[in-house]
Amino acid sequence: MLDHVQLAAPAGSEEKCLRFYRDLLGLKEIRKPDSLSSNGGVWFDSGTTSLHIGIEEGFSPQSKAHPAFTVPDLDLIAGRLADSGHAVMFDERLAPIRRLYTKDPFGNRIELIEAQLKALHPDRLKPGDHIRLLAPASSLSLVEEQVVSEGIHALERLGFHVSISCHARKKNVLGSSDVAHRVSDLHQAFGDQSVQGIMAVRGGFNSNELLPHLDYELIRSNPKVLIGFSDITALANAIFKKTGLVTYSGPMLRGIGMNHAYTKKHFIKALMESADFEIETSANWFDDGITRPNQGPVVLQHGEADGRIVGGNLCTLNLLQGTAFMPDLRGAVLFLEDDYEVHPATVARDFHSLMQQPGAEQIAAIVFGRFQAASGLELEQLRYMISYYPSLSGVPVIANLDFGHTLPMFTFPIGGTASVSTEPPLLKIHSS
């Protein structure tokens, strides 16, 4: 694995290095070891790799060999560079990847790549469309037939035709069908021109097994709605990362089959309508057969922000850490929730792990869903977790929203955009 990249610069150029690499490109300056500081130069951290600028006698710039850095907003950086007098050349030969070339103040060639592909929104669903049911995580055979029937009937009442993938009910010793079967079902659904939407039948475990085996070009070339939550968080975020396709966190068979007006209304708003919408608050919420009054959104930290939605189930999102499937956290509005299997200490551990990822110091906002009652998690514990991080100062954080492993739930687009404000607490989902 690559530890650092070395570039050279002429003597006395440290301040110019800082203005270019720190102030324009956004790299973080890191202190050189005392044993090397007398050599001059500057070191930077790009999030995953370090850049060392060394002072070289008889310096000549690198016009061909060069480092490439990912940035969250290529157009923003391009504007900064142009305003500072640096020539910018966009290169479309690797489309849909967006990149540009520029030169540092000393003539070294620099490449910048937009970290996330531009969002690709699937067509909205409409009555008469065909929804394919898949089991990318645990097997459909583990779902009660009544739940299956009620879920299918609820989709049919919305006007959809429904089919079940070939291998959805197969089950191996780990409770899922074999990887090849699940990959085949997913590829078949994306490639089938008669299918407009794909719904995971349930969560469970192991959708992350599929990620290295998926044909992401097939998926990008056939954009369509993909919806699920819980373990489907890994699949949904990975597909967005690798293709730009906006996916959806929302009800699966059990949730849609309960026919709750709140769940249905927000399912329709997110998947079937094209207008921006504000997330409403349900009157009550249900967990383990108990109905409780809903106190509504709780502000943990004040602020306002817009950003790209990333996340879903916290512990499942964390499975993507250190892989090529982890979405860029810079500028993200993080949506996080978890189920009855966690407790406050494990939630804190998972949250701290996420906050140690590259780019976490530039998170735009955090939205916590509803943690199941059996988790024992209290809002004050979430507030305490947030207080750990100076980088979150001024970042809006709201909690107790209607998504997660309780009902009812709203549907939201992973890779879509949202606005978060706290006076009063408000979450708005944008249509594009």
Residue pLDDT tens, the chain, 432 long: 899 999 999 999 999 999 999 999 999 999 999 999 999 999 999 988 999 999 999 999 999 999 999 999 999 999 999 999 999 999 999 999 999 999 999 999 999 999 999 999 999 999 999 999 999 999 999 999 999 999 999 999 999 999 999 999 999 999 999 999 999 999 999 999 999 999 999 999 999 999 999 999 999 999 999 999 999 999 999 999 999 999 999 999 999 999 999 999 999 999 999 999 999 999 999 998 899 999 999 999 999 999 999 999 999 999 999 999 999 999 999 999 999 999 999 999 999 999 999 999 999 999 999 999 999 999 999 999 999 999 999 999 999 999 999 999 999 999 999 999 999 999 999 988
The active-site residue out of 337, 375, 419, 421 is: 337
Q: Which run of H or of E encompasses 309? A: strand 304-313
Number of Cβ within 10 Å of residue 161's Cβ equals: 15
- Return the pLDDT at 432: 80
Burial 12-49 (b: 16+ CB within 10 A, else e): ebeebbbebbeebbbbeeeeeeeeeeeebbbbbebbee
Q: What is the CATH number of domain 4-114?
A: 3.10.180.10
| Residue ranges, CATH 3.10.180.10, the chain | 4-114
**Side chain identity at residue 11, one-letter code:** A
Residue 332 vs residues 152, 285, 306, 386: alpha-carbon distances, Å: 34, 27, 8, 16
CATH of 274-432, one of 1.20.120.790, 3.10.20.30, 3.60.20.30, 3.50.30.60: 3.50.30.60
List every span in the chain annotated with CATH 3.40.50.10740: 119-259
Residue 182 has a pLDDT of 98
* Cα–Cα dist 256/133, whole Å: 13
Q: Where in the chain is the domain with CATH 3.50.30.60?
A: 274-432
CA distances from 376 to 204, 231, 371 (A): 21, 21, 8
Q: Are strands 365-368 and 397-399 parallel, antiparallel or unpaired?
A: parallel
Q: Are 354 and 314 in contact, with CB atoms under 8 Å apart? A: yes
DSSP letter (8 states) at residue 421 = E
Which CATH number, 3.40.50.10740, 3.40.630.30, 3.40.50.2300, 3.40.50.300, labels domain 119-259? 3.40.50.10740
pTM: 0.95
Which residue is it, tokens 């061909």? 64
Tokens of 359: 């780019």
405 annotated active-site: yes
Catalytic residue among 230, 282, 419, 421: 230
Candidates 209, 266, 405, 419; catalytic one: 405
Told to judge if 230 belongs to the known catalytic residues of this protein, a careful annotator would answer: yes
